[in-house]
Amino acid sequence: MAEAISVPLTGWLASRFGALRVFVICLLMFGVFSTLCWMATSINMLVLFRVFLGFSGGPLMPLSQTLLMMRIFPKDKSHVAIGIWSMTTLVAPIMGPILGGVICDQFSWHYIFICKTPFAIAAGFMCWKMLQRYETQTAKSRIDVVGLVLLVVWVSALQIMLDEGKDHDWFASTHIVILAIIALIGFISFLIWELTERNPVVDLRVFRHRGFTTSMVTLSLAFGAFFGITVLTPLWLQSTWAIPRP
């Protein structure tokens, strides 16, 4: 849920503080909160640190793509940048669950967090040292507080509804119905506000370009199918081919 909220904010954060600065800070925060998740002693602490971990990890993918294709690589080499970036986004979701399962079985669930810390912190410092000349220009635009609140409300309600719907028989539950109504009203209010606000937290006017809208729909369907398979396949294998432990 935190990641779903932070991703739409990436554009505003990059324009306000600089794409490289936000990217490096998020990398370092990702390492720090991974360590705190490793140190968690209760489920409440783990959930809290996971929220901050998701919020810091959300901007990493869009900003990595921005820095690669729009800043570091020249325009005539953009296809190379797309290939490199796509390779990481496809390989990581496949290797992550496998490696995570091995680590949990052989050691402990704590180590799936701490193993990421040195890579995140080292990458953050290396990026800051090597890529400072690719920093983007900043503009001191004010934060759209109303738009941000509406974004948090409707995304949170939708995420909780989708997560808990299967456990409450979906719309047979009053709880799920209320969450669906809040998500719908919040989403419509968010659209109206962002389309009329002078400095929106998420600039929805870019969807007036037909090519951009078509590309986003295609990407959403493709990534939804890919990540859906990635999530469902391990669950199916676990329930169907699980080997009973002695």
- Smallest Cα–Cα separation from 45: which of 110, 112, 134? 110
Instruction: Give residues with Cβ within 8 angstroms of 52, minimum separation 6.
Output: 2, 29, 33, 36
In a domain? residue 74 = yes
**pTM exceeding 0.85:** no
Count of domains forming the chain: 1
In a domain? residue 52 = yes
Cα 208 to chain centroid distance, Å, stands at 24
How far CA 65 is from CA of 89, 110, 119, 126, 155, in Å, comes to 10, 30, 19, 17, 24
Segments of the chain with pLDDT less than 70: 69-71, 238, 241-246
In a domain? residue 148 = no
For residue 80, give its domain range.
Answer: 1-141
In a domain? residue 17 = yes
How far CA 200 is from CA of 9, 63, 191, 206, in Å, comes to 10, 19, 10, 12
In a domain? residue 196 = no
Per-residue pLDDT at 28: 92
In a domain? residue 205 = no
**Judging by beta carbons within 10 Å of its beta carbon (0-12, 13-18, 19+), is residue 151 exposed, middle or buried?**
buried
How far apart CA 164 and CA 162 sit, in angstroms, is: 6
In a domain? residue 151 = no
Per-residue pLDDT at 35: 92
Per-residue pLDDT at 5: 77
- Smallest Cα–Cα separation from 61: which of 110, 15, 4? 4
Q: What is the pLDDT of residues 186-241, one digit of tens each?
A: 999 999 998 888 878 777 888 888 888 898 889 888 878 877 777 777 777 767 76
Per-residue pLDDT at 243: 54
How far CA 220 is from CA of 63, 147, 213, 217, 226, in Å, comes to 18, 23, 11, 5, 10
The string of DSSP letters for 64-78 reads HHHIIIIIIS-GGGH
How far apart CA 246 and CA 60 sit, in angstroms, is: 42
In a domain? residue 185 = no
Q: What is the CATH number of the domain that holds 18?
A: 1.20.1250.20
Is the separation of the CB atoms in 100 and 231 below 8 Å? no
How far apart CA 22 and CA 63 sit, in angstroms, is: 8
Per-residue pLDDT at 181: 94
